[in-house]
Amino acid sequence: MACKVLLLATLVVLTVARPEPPPPPGYGAPTPVFISSGPEAPPRYDFNYAVKDEYAGNDFGHQESRDGYDTKGSYYVQLPDGRLQTVTYYVNGDSGFVAQVEYQGEAQYPAYQPVQAYKPAPAPTYTPAPVYS
């Protein structure tokens, strides 16, 4: 009987002494940070680069400038067939990307000439010494 009373007392203590849920975090949503309070300045930039590697045969470059919503630029690349491809483009506001493509030079497709990997040994150039008996 004492065992039943002890078990009942333990259940009552566990029920009454429930831990409280943790408190909610002590911070709110982050406040937005504005860099400037006035109207944003229109984008304005100008850049260019060029690469010419005669050993590897690479020749390409790019130039672009932007002032507000007007963008102009061009890029070029040396094609494997020997021609130079130049693309000139512009974007005015919502007009979209307008490009003009030009090619300089004539396409070259040389016939394949395999390289001989093995050559026979050259004939000896010495003369044998005379034999005396």
Tell me the C-alpha distance between 8 and 33, whole Å. 59
Helix/strand/coil for 5: helix
Predicted TM-score of the model (pTM): 0.53
Tell me the C-alpha distance between 43 and 64, whole Å. 13
Number of H helices, E strands in the chain: 1, 5
Give the pLDDT mean for 8-33: 74
Tell me the C-alpha distance between 61 and 48, whole Å. 7
Break the chain down into helix, strand, coil percent, rounded to 5: 10, 35, 55
Give the pLDDT mean for 29-58: 79
pLDDT at 6 over 90: no
The pLDDT value given to residue 86 = 97
pLDDT > 90: what percent of the chain? 33
